[in-house]
Structure 1
Amino acid sequence: MTSPSPAPAAPLISLTWTDHETGYQGHLVVDRLVRGVSSGGLRMRAGCTLEEVTGLARGMTMKEALHYNPQGRYIPLGGAKGGIDCDPRDPAAHGVLVRYLRAVRPYVERFWTTGEDLGLTQDLVDRAASEAGLVSSIQAVYPLLDDEEAARQRLADAFAIEVDGIGLGELVGGCGVAESVLAALDRAGTPYQGTRVAVQGFGTMGGATARFLVRAGLRVVAVADIKGTLANPAGLHIETLLAARDGHGCVDRAVLRADDSELPAGAWLTADAEVLVPAAVSYAVDTANQAGITARWIVEAANMPVLPEAEALLTGRGITVLPDVVVNSGTNAWWWWTLFGDIGADADEAFAHTRRSMRALIDQMLSRAEADDCTPRAAAHALVAERLPVIAERFGWFR
């Protein structure tokens, strides 16, 4: 089996900021620039490290490259990421966020387009960006647009769309994750009906993924949030749970049915399910807890949820890990498809384009994995290694 890709080069920019009021630290890593601009979200969680943000920035470079389409209007950017070591529930969190954005304002204005990630919603990012004196969290990309006014209006219109009570901007990522699951099932000849899924995290990505999978006919038998795991072998009523979430993806237990169970937080890992979807924190699956996993597929909706050493053990046991750089790339791509004008502000068009693109990527990755006798992650890395020089030849290297 092919070994993992070699260690990548150091990022272009790496910095750590310390908040003078609270002592909390924030990080910014720009892995690569394309046409002078990079893309990657801003997360906020207690324990966020520079090493974590560096890995996430590298992953963003890969996600951008994987969605490169020479015929598309959307031209991939470089990869970047921001992270703040602070619990988003901390009363001081908003002030820390504003001060962080104020400190990195020159980068946001020129080089780094950012948005919501773990612990932060786009509304919070937008409000803090405004308070920090920024025009927008993605203003660095504006000079690359043919018609800035029309593009900004198109994206604003898209974010204003709701589908059954949930914003389109929240749903497209889950649509991409769900399509990744369905593509894997189709390749294996596994029917949707009766396939069981356990989801860790019920925020933006996890909740939307659960909705799309249930609507495709799968059964979500476990959902984990910060309070624990909700379970039902017959299937949880996902729409009821979605309607009972708070802003951090925590479900009000008052809506549970008599046959729903409350289990410990880690119970989702050992759920009797064919598919596990880690959609919350990084490093959720390690060498110890992987031993209890019996699922056939782990589909990484979160960034870096499976440690490399754990993935090697899982692979040895015949469990397939579909990597984050492909699986959760739909949200980022949708922003740019919409802004650059590959699609309009329309939910049906957004979902259709996301499904086509994600299915094509999953099929390319799994076909490459079979041909090279390697893991899906190694296959994804190989595709990136082929595409980055093509992008660089067209737009130049900015490292």
Structure 2
Amino acid sequence: MAAIPMTDPSPAPLVSLTWTDHITGTRGYLVVDRLVRGVSSGGLRMREGCTLAEVTGLARGMSMKEALHFDADARYIPLGGAKGGIDCDPRAPEAYGVLVRFLRAVRPYVEHVWTTGEDLGLSQDLVDRAAAEAGLVSTIQAVYPLLHDEAVARRRLADAFALTVDGIGLDELVGGCGVAEAALVALDRAGTDHRDARVSLQGLGTMGGATARFLSRAGLTVVAVADVKGTIANPAGLDVEALLAARDAYGTVDRGVLREADQELPADAWLAADADVLVPAAVSYAVDASNQASIRARWVVEAANMPVLPEAEALLTARGITVLPDVVVNSGTNAWWWWTLFGDVGADAEEAFGHTRRSMRALVGRVLERAEADGSTPREAAHALAAERLPVMAERFGWYR
């Protein structure tokens, strides 16, 4: 499936670097795809097998997410796209030391051009602790010069991060709220009653767990959830809140909380679940040309970054299965950070959820309408919308490369 190219005077990333840890030999990567007003945005992930190509693709995706959320009338100033990645198992004993040394090595970029935060394998608390040990003021300090009142903005974001809703931090929940809203828009456009819809998810970590909660509370039935130990399934519906309460820091569920009717199935069983909505919310490249044949869902909603390979998406599309792309679906987390920091929303959970729902509903609606009008896939439609917005951003803010 050919993606519609983004309008860009230089398609190559601005910065692409590989770091090698002098102690363990572990490799880390930083890619700055583009700058807007001299700053870029994108998380830092840690997983065994992470590659420069993966980080490059993620950085380009961040450029698109920023462009898709550009609102000329908002306080939120769009940034460029970037991403960091470390090829290390986050559970390994040496992982934290590697993280600190990576951040120490790329410290000048974090200080001046790269705002970052948690991503796959890392929590925000862990990233913040490692950043402080590496001598950084904050992982988002590069954006501070763009703020009208830095002290007020930083306090507002800190207050927002301190909020919890039913035991889960607001920073975890907003991303899942956005993913859930994307799925609900698709269901609503198809005329599907939420109470008749069934969901299967891969991953019950930060994004997957929050998505499961919001979809369950919207009336959908969560019938399968996969973590590193395998798939937990129940055709009558899982107790989502009990599973969330029994997770460890990596999103692995304590099987001791399972009910008698709950089933333990192989790791890939979530793909073939009898569900209307499939949510890959864990790792990249989870759905390939081979295992896509198992999918029976009507919609695949990409909560993770790059979970569906292009050849798999082409085959799914040919079978009438719609893939809602990651650059749209999971963009709410990144946008919430900046909505809060720049003052479009305050440190208030209901305000954050309301703004996220309205923004995601409007964005997903535009993407699906564009896809229908162009006879394209939602991903191609998202690329087209981003390509139209980037020149507008460049005209307003200029290109800083």
State the Cα distance separating 1:178 from its structure 2 match. Answer: 0.2
Identity of aligned residues (%): 79
Deviations 1:269-311 (A, max 9, x none): 0000000000000000000000111100000000000000100
Provide the rounded CA distance (Å) in 2 between the counterparts of 1:398 and 1:235. Answer: 50
Aligned counterpart, 2:248: 246
The reply to whether residue 353 of structure 1 matches residue 352 of structure 2 is no
User: Please, which of 173, 180, 188 is the counterpart of residue 186 of structure 1?
Assistant: 188
Residue aligned with 1:193, SS: helix
Aligned counterpart, 1:340: 342
Runs of 4 or more, structure 1, over 4 Å off, are none
The reply to whether residue 5 of structure 1 matches residue 7 of structure 2 is no
Deviations 1:201-251 (A, max 9, x none): 000000000000000000000000000000000000000000000000000
User: Please, which of 378, 387, 397 is the counterpart of residue 385 of structure 1?
Assistant: 387
User: Please, which of 136, 139, 144 is the counterpart of residue 137 of structure 1?
Assistant: 139
User: Please, which of 266, 274, 277 is the counterpart of residue 275 of structure 1?
Assistant: 277
Letter in 1 for 2:43: G
User: Please, which of 55, 62, 66 is the counterpart of residue 64 of structure 1?
Assistant: 66
Provide the rounded CA distance (Å) in 2 between the counterparts of 1:19 and 1:339. Answer: 33
Provide the rounded CA distance (Å) in 2 between the counterparts of 1:232 and 1:377. Answer: 32
Aligned counterpart, 2:223: 221
Q: Contact conserved, 1:228 with 1:264, CA < 8 A, in 2?
A: yes
Provide the rounded CA distance (Å) in 2 between the counterparts of 1:396 and 1:3. Answer: 29
Residue aligned with 2:16, SS: strand
User: Please, which of 311, 314, 320 is the counterpart of residue 313 of structure 2?
Assistant: 311
Provide the rounded CA distance (Å) in 2 between the counterparts of 1:229 and 1:296. Answer: 20
Q: Contact conserved, 1:3 with 1:374, CA < 8 A, in 2?
A: no
Aligned counterpart, 1:237: 239
Provide the rounded CA distance (Å) in 2 between the counterparts of 1:3 and 1:53. Answer: 20
Provide the rounded CA distance (Å) in 2 between the counterparts of 1:289 and 1:10. Answer: 32
Provide the rounded CA distance (Å) in 1 between the counterparts of 2:241 and 2:296. Answer: 27
Q: How does 1:36-115 map to 2 (within 5 A)?
A: 36-115=38-117
Aligned counterpart, 1:203: 205
State the Cα distance separating 1:194 from its structure 2 match. Answer: 2.1
Alignment gaps of 5+ in structure 1: none
Provide the rounded CA distance (Å) in 2 between the counterparts of 1:76 and 1:227. Answer: 39
Letter in 2 for 1:304: M
Letter in 2 for 1:243: A
Q: Contact conserved, 1:35 with 1:395, CA < 8 A, in 2?
A: yes
Aligned counterpart, 1:364: 366
The reply to whether residue 27 of structure 1 matches residue 26 of structure 2 is no
Q: Contact conserved, 1:27 with 1:84, CA < 8 A, in 2?
A: yes
Q: How does 1:112-123 map to 2 (within 5 A)?
A: 112-123=114-125
Letter in 1 for 2:379: R
State the Cα distance separating 1:397 from its structure 2 match. Answer: 1.1
Letter in 2 for 1:174: G
Provide the rounded CA distance (Å) in 1 between the counterparts of 2:230 and 2:23. Answer: 33
Provide the aligned C-alpha RMSD in A: 0.8
Number of residue equivalences: 398
Residue aligned with 1:249, SS: coil
Provide the rounded CA distance (Å) in 2 between the counterparts of 1:383 and 1:225. Answer: 34
Aligned counterpart, 2:179: 177
State the Cα distance separating 1:3 from its structure 2 match. Answer: 4.2
State the Cα distance separating 1:4 from its structure 2 match. Answer: 2.1
Q: Contact conserved, 1:196 with 1:218, CA < 8 A, in 2?
A: yes
State the Cα distance separating 1:137 from its structure 2 match. Answer: 0.3
Aligned counterpart, 1:293: 295
Give TM-score scaled by structure 1 length: 0.99
Letter in 2 for 1:245: R
